[in-house]
């Protein structure tokens, strides 16, 4: 595994579920991150799908010592740089492009790009990226597809995201080429909007107990 992929794995190690968060109001970011951390989910991905996303990352990075905040839905180098400057510890993209690979090469912030086809996965592997996001996981073939990749591309590991839920996460985590999964079920929009942090903490605790088989 490459140095950058190893760095990313070390950030996410031991956490079976990475919360994928859409934060509409930056004021919600700090209490949300703290609730997830109390439940055992310290590494979180805040997606750049709202105008407040960068400010949310900035606040968590600056105020929640126990959290490891990353940025998701990064589509171009400008977003990569903005997320890094906001304090992101890792960068996640739904796909992989030459421009994003160059931004990653020029940055110390580790990159988790999305890949679903054998060709995309092999292209990422050739440039030293051996820990990838598998997105959209359920729509792209799910756990059965990932299981089929485990033998021919054995040295590449994945974080499946997209359609992953409390009901099917264990099926992914049981695969030898899956390190963790990404999911939004631990912080549903309605609970975030209503500030129901204790309920989110409970969901996080249940997710943190989903362990890979020994």
Q: Catalytic residue positions?
A: 45, 133
- Give CA–CA dist 131/203, Å, rounded: 26
Q: Which tokens sit at 149?
A: 């990749």
- φ/ψ of 67, rounded to 5, equals -90, 150
Q: What is the CA radius of gyration of the chain?
A: 16
In total, the chain counts a number of residues equal to 214
The sign one gets for the Cα dihedral 67, 52, 75, 117 is positive
Task: Kindly state the helix (H) or strand (E) to which residue 176 belongs, with its residue range.
Answer: none
CB 20 within 8 A of CB 48: no
């Amino acid at each position: 595994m490459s140095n950058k992929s190893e760095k990313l794995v070390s950030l996410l190690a031991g956490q079976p579920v990475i919360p994928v968060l859409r934060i509409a109001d930056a004021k919600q970011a700090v209490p949300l991150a703290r609730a997830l951390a109390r439940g055992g989910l310290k590494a979180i991905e805040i997606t750049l799908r709202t105008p407040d996303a960068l400010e949310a990352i900035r606040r968590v990075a600056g105020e929640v010592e126990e959290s490891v905040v990353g940025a998701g839905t990064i589509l171009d180098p400008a977003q990569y740089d903005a997320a890094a400057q906001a304090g992101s510890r890792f960068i996640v993209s739904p796909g992989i492009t030459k421009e994003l690979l160059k931004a990653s090469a020029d940055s110390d912030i580790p990159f988790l790009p999305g890949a679903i086809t054998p060709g995309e996965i092999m292209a990422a592997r050739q440039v030293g990226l051996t820990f990838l996001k598998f997105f959209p996981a359920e729509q792209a073939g799910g756990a059965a597809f990932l299981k089929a990749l485990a033998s021919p591309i054995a040295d590449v590991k994945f974080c499946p995201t997209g359609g992953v839920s409390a009901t099917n996460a264990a099926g992914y985590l049981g695969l030898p080429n899956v390190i963790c999964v990404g999911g939004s079920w631990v912080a549903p929009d309605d609970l975030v909007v209503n500030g129901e942090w204790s309920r989110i903490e409970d969901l996080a605790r249940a997710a943190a107990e989903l362990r890979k088989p020994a």
